Chains A and B, each alone.
Chain A
Amino acid sequence: MAEKILEIKDLCVEFNTDRGVIRAVNGVNLEVYKGKTLGVVGESGSGKSVTALSIMRLIPSPPGKIARGTIDYRGENLLEIPFDEMRRIRGNKIAMIFQEPMTSLNPVFTVGNQIEEVLELHQKELSKEQRRDKAIEMLHLVGIPSPEKRVTEYPHQLSGGMRQRVMIAMSLACEPDILIADEPTTALDVTIQAQILELMNKLQKELGMGIIMITHDLGVVAETCDDVAVMYCGQIVERAEVKELFNHPQHPYTKGLIESIPSFDSTTGERKDRLPTIEGMVPSLFDLPDGCNFQDRCNFATDKCRGSEGEPVLKSIGTHHDAACFHPLS
């Protein structure tokens, strides 16, 4: 069993909005292991980014607030350590790649300067020249052509794919213990996505980092993750080892997500007549029902699901397989 390096327990994050307080993350438990990738999937608004930002202690406050929970990183609760210490961990031990690289790259500094700045903060022993060499080496590592030239360029001079790779180079410049990748390839073409996922995989093997891969693409999950957590309305509704989750989904929402991926029987060339869908839509966080949040879209809902016995909680239903459902599918 790999070493557990991060454990999130009962995380609750709230936002104050003009329509009232919403609980964007509600009682989330997650574990990250050394050298392993944990996938977090779910539709937009399900609380994936807020969970990630909580680990980094980057929840904007106000309006946000971590209302409850612990985030244990190698024996320390990240939510309680002093701010200075958190700053040292951030980008050093725990790094994050954001979906839109342009918002996290500084437009007025060259790509080289930005990587060097990270190195200056985290590897103080390096000289100026050594930092430049290391920046070029990092750009080369992430597959940027002619890195000696690119290192002097500004973010806007690069293509979207290259900017994302620069972000990855920056995140990896300090060889982090944990890499949080928030939809790292959603904005990219599949060919570039394949390059980047392969690169992350290679670096993970070399550095042994734990990865949290946030995505809504189940293809990316199937190909990159060891374990998966499925989020819905701020809660984890199912988690399991990746093959187990795809082969034996227990929560009706997970099953619906897997089935709604267009698929084609390439042996016969027949397409399914209709795509199976999950009817309806995600309820508003302002107006969650009693009982199970998925009840209005679920074909298996009973009175129990509508609140007579409270909310379904995440329960073990097999080896390393948990689901929050009163009537798991089996």
Chain B
Amino acid sequence: MSEYLLEVNNLTKKFPIRGGIFGREVGAVYAVNDVSFKIKKGETLGLVGESGCGKTTLGRSLLRLIEPTAGEVFFNGVDITKLDADGMREMRRKMQIIFQDPYASLNPRMTVGGILAEPMEIHGLFKDKEERRKRLLQLLDQVQLPADALNKYPHEFSGGQRQRICIARALAVEPEFIVCDEPVSALDVSVQAQVVNLMMDLQKDLGLTFLFIAHDLKVVEYISNRVAVMYLGNMVEVAESHELYGGARHPYTKALFSAIPNPNPNVTHDRIILEGDIPSPMNPPDGCHFHPRCWNATDECRGSYPPVTEESSTHAYRCYNPNQLS
């Protein structure tokens, strides 16, 4: 069996834009465009990029919560885009997702016990009441919540605790892979650190594989083995976390990471201030989408989208004139 748990080839998601009285397709947003990548078993791949670049769409397409328009998603060697409804339901046990807003994604009228038991019931994962209770207590213990949480309702918990409940719910079906879509973005710094530690511990203990989406680049860099950078639906660079500051090859990656405010007042670093806003995804620039904001742009960049350059087995980028490494 391959060392990769997930292998994604040329994944594309197009949202049609309809207009007029007949609702004809008048345009399209390529929210995810021809994206390919792999994730190893037990690895965390971070996913970053400005809002609207397609991170959520990509994450959900992997689980077919959004149907991809084109491309393949191999999970443990099976192309899940070809599975029928039954096959997909079985597969979902192995692939879970955690969302940003831990409140909106928890049913306020269900107790924590009910919320955690639901996915296990759907998949018929326990035989009797006793087994159910044991498993629920084990889940709470895994996310470091007290046993008396079982009979409480979501509103009785703080934001950080609610996110722990969401994590426990995802773990309930014993998944191998979890898409984490901004799981700590709504939390305060000190609570965020607690949840990040918890997720890293769980990964180690349970051998989980993560796709970790966040707009806090420091958190992503910290938790991920490798990080993928998206811009306007395209994956423009994938590199090991520690390469992102000094070793970024794509100009956008360099600009993005140089924009992070540095929590160390003793040093000043050179900042690249990008001009302008991200162009409309409905009408992206020709060629490399980044060319109107890129200081390395040449005529070639305006002509066609740059192909993938594989610098090493862990580092790839799409750019005609990459940053030179000093």
Contact = CB atoms under 8 A, between A and B. Distances in A.
Given A43-B189, A189-B51, A262-B196, A242 B260 contact: no
A258 B190 CA distance: 9
B194 interface: yes
Given A198-B273, A263-B218, A264-B242, A256 B190 contact: yes
A222 B277 CA distance: 25
Given A189-B51, A260-B193, A281-B158, A266 B246 contact: yes
B217 interface: yes
A237 B221 CA distance: 31
Contacts of A281: 158, 160, 191
A242 B265 contact: yes
Interface string B251-275: 0000110011111111000010110
- Of B197, B246, B265, chain A has the most CB atoms within 10 Å of the CB of B265
A262 B212 CA distance: 15
A223 interface: yes
Interface string B169-202: 0000000000000000000111111101100100
Contact of A262 (B219, B242, B273, B274): B219
A220 B218 CA distance: 13
Contact of B264 (A198, A220, A246, A278): A246
Contacts of B215: 189-190
A195 B260 contact: no
Contacts of A216: 188-189
Interface in B244-303: 245-246, 255-256, 259-266, 271, 273-274, 276-277
Nearest to A43: B188
B221 A257 contact: no
Contact of B261 (A145, A189, A197, A277): A197
Contacts of B223: 262
A247 B193 CA distance: 21
A44 B160 CA distance: 12
A261 B271 CA distance: 20
A269 B222 CA distance: 10
Contact of A264 (B193, B222, B255, B259): B222
Contact of B262 (A145, A191, A222): A222
| Of listed A145, A222, A246, A275, residue having the most chain B CB within 10 A | A275
Contacts of B101: none
A159 interface: yes
A262 B218 contact: yes
A194 B64 CA distance: 35
B50 interface: yes
Given A246-B265, A262-B196, A262-B219, A191 B190 contact: no
A87 interface: no
B57 interface: no
Contact of A222 (B191, B243, B264, B271): B264
Nearest to A190: B259
Given A190-B256, A191-B274, A246-B265, A264 B189 contact: no
Of B188, B190, B241, B256, the most chain A CB neighbours within 10 A belong to B190
Contacts of B245: 264, 266
Interface residues of B, number: 42
B34 interface: no
Interface string A218-244: 111111100000000000000000110
Interface in A244-262: 246-247, 256-258, 260-262
Contacts of B243: 269
Contacts of A260: 189-190, 192-193
Interface residues of A, number: 48
A217 interface: yes
A222 B193 contact: no
A219 B197 contact: no
A273 to B, nearest CB: 9
Contacts of B273: 194-195, 198
Interface in A189-225: 189-195, 197-198, 216-224
A276 interface: yes
B241 A258 contact: no
A274 B200 contact: yes
Interface in A28-74: 43-44
Interface in B214-252: 215, 217-219, 221-223, 240-243, 245-246
Contact of A261 (B158, B189, B276): B189
B197 A275 contact: yes
Contacts of A275: 193, 196-197, 222
B261 A193 contact: yes
A219 B242 contact: no
A142 to B, nearest CB: 13
B194 A193 contact: no
B22 to A, nearest CB: 26
B196 A191 contact: no
A256 B192 CA distance: 13
Given A191-B274, A198-B273, A246-B266, A217 B261 contact: yes
A222 B218 contact: no
A302 B60 CA distance: 50
B189 A269 contact: no
B259 A44 contact: no
21 contacts: A189-B50, A190-B261, A191-B256, A193-B261, A194-B271, A194-B273, A216-B189, A221-B263, A222-B265, A242-B265, A243-B266, A260-B190, A264-B242, A264-B245, A266-B242, A269-B241, A269-B243, A275-B193, A277-B193, A277-B194, A281-B160
What 8 A-B pairs are tightest by C-beta distance, nearest first?
A269-B242, A219-B261, A262-B222, A260-B193, A278-B190, A194-B259, A189-B50, A43-B188
Interface of A: 43-44, 145, 159-162, 189-195, 197-198, 216-224, 242-243, 246-247, 256-258, 260-264, 266, 268-269, 271, 274-279, 281
